Copies of this chain bind each other. A is one copy, B any other.
Amino acid sequence: MTAKPISFGIMLHGAGGHMNSWKHPGGPADASVNLDFYISQARKAEQAGVAFAFVADGLYINEKSIPHFLNRFEPLTILSALAVATDKIGLAGTISTSYSDPFTVARQLASLDLISGGRAGWNVVTTPLEGSALNYSRDHPDHALRYEIADEYLQVTQGLWDSWDDDAVIRDRETGQFFDPAKLHALNHKGRFFEVAGPLNSPRSKQGQPVIFQAGSSDAGIGLAGKYADAVFTHSPSLEETRAFTNRVKDAAVAHCRRRDDVKIFPGISPIVAETREEAEAKYDRIRNLLSIEEALAYLGRYFDHHDFSQYDLDAPFPDLGEIGRNSFRSTTDRIKADAAAGNLSLREVALAAATPRPNFIGTGAEVAERLIEWIDAGASDGFILGFAVSAEGLEDFIRLVIPELEARGRYSRDLPGETLRDHLGLPRKESRYAQAAGIVAKAG
């Protein structure tokens, strides 16, 4: 058996994942609204064989938000722009099922998939931040309801994407026949949350349908991933925890009559790499020093519905928060609470770790490469999403120091395996539900 190659995505999150990454001198301070920066990051990643670019999103800001996310590009527009500025890299963006219309979103993603030649992906999120409701003239659905909506939403969008069989459009100028009506399918969905007749005014793409990413880690999130997701974006607390999570998602896929390999797991990681271990530590220090303790408390508050942590003693044990944070980033807040209890940590320690966590991939290129291979070989994941704390420096270091080490070990190729995002992820083209049904009939007959 040849060793499994390692696959990467890259977060395009402006200046970086760190709250104060905009202060880091390695990149432009306005990175989050700088088109040239986005294009250059995407192109560098593409040349290095990164499988996809990934754009996160949020629908609510206030003065306490991460500064450089106060102004940022909207995912569909920036990804459509990148579709023209790049050739091969996949283009995945976050859109919430709690605050959008499935007909519009199905269509925009289908259009991105056409424009990019089959490179579109959709990170399906249910929107943890309650404040989002304030921008959408409605109430924030609770956690369980959000996932019920998301389930029906995915039925609708995937149904719409199959409106036209692959060979439905003929465009015969001689006969005047534009399409074959027998190969056009109205959806006529009537469900609990949505009524959508269809058909979609967009054909299927080179990869069949956009790739579905999913990013919730609760039981409900794992259930949704098992049913629909082609890929999952998750945390990376440790190899063991990530492997356990990966197995739960793959089990959930099997429970939905899919194969374990039909859903690829991508933990987000923030490697810090340098020529020596000491230099890597120095880089980490520079990043940590981008932040004051007041800022760290505010950062922590984001996960807990913007709870005001400045009211507590910094050096007393992490406070008991009761139900606060249970309805938003639940899996994250549960983990923070558990870590605090396990380590008997002070609020100061929790806040500093939350704002600038020590990455589990830090060291020389060889060290990081070995660790990545260890995770893959242990079955912890299928690849990684690189969400550098500081985007510009992070990507440059990774390409310069880690990629060659992976290549030397025969575990990485800069040549992307195909043309579409599904190709890059090792997934087959998504067959239409109608072609599948016909296939089953044909086999049975």
Give the chain B neighbours of A194 by CB distance below 8 A: 137
Given known pairs A30-B171, A104-B99, A202-B72, the reply for A196 and B77 (CB within 8 Å) is: no
User: Quick one: CB contact mask for A188-202 with B, threshold 8 Å, 1 for yes?
Assistant: 000001111111011
CB A221 to nearest CB in B, in angstroms, measures: 23
Proximity bits, A22-63, B CB within 8 Å = 1, else 0: 110100011001010001000000000000000000110111
Residues of B contacting A33 in the complex (Cβ-Cβ under 8 angstroms): 114, 202-203
Name the residue of chain B whose CB is nearest to the CB of A173.
B23
User: A81-B81, A100-B104 in contact; A61/B115 too (CB < 8 A)?
Assistant: no
List A77-100 residues whose CB lies under 8 Å from chain B.
77-85, 99-100
Give CA–CA (A99, B80) in the complex, Å. 22
A176-184, A231-239, A337-345, A375-383 - the one binding chain B? A176-184
Residues of chain B within 8 A (CB-CB) of A79 are 80
Q: How far is the CA of A79 from the CA of B82 in the complex (A)?
A: 12
User: How many Å lie between the Cα of A35 and that of B85 in the bound state?
Assistant: 13
A134 to B193 CA separation, bound complex (whole angstroms): 13
- A70–B103 CA distance with the chains assembled, in angstroms: 15
Interface residues of A in 113-146 (CB under 8 A from B): 114-115, 131, 134-137
A74 within 8 A of B: yes
Q: How large is the interface on A (under 10, 10 to 19, 20 to 34, 35 or more residues)?
A: 35 or more
Contacting pair A101 B63 (CB below 8 A): no
Interface check A73, CB cutoff 8 A: yes
Judge if A169 is at the interface, Cβ distance under 8 Å. Answer: yes
Residue A350 at the B interface, CB < 8 A? Answer: no
Which among B137, B201, B292 is the interface contact of A196 at CB below 8 angstroms?
A: B137
Residues from chain B with a CB closer than 8 A to the CB of A101 are 99-101, 136-137
Contact of A193 among B137, B171, B202 (CB under 8 A): B137
CB distance A77 to B202 under 8 Å? no
Contact of A111 with B198 in the complex, beta carbons under 8 Å: no
Q: Give CA–CA (A13, B428) in the complex, Å.
A: 33
Contact between chains at A115 and B81 (CB < 8 Å): yes
CB distance from A38 to the nearest CB of B (A): 9
Q: Say whether A134 contacts B195, CB under 8 Å.
A: yes
5 closest A-B pairs by beta carbon, nearest first, are A80-B80, A67-B178, A134-B197, A74-B111, A77-B111
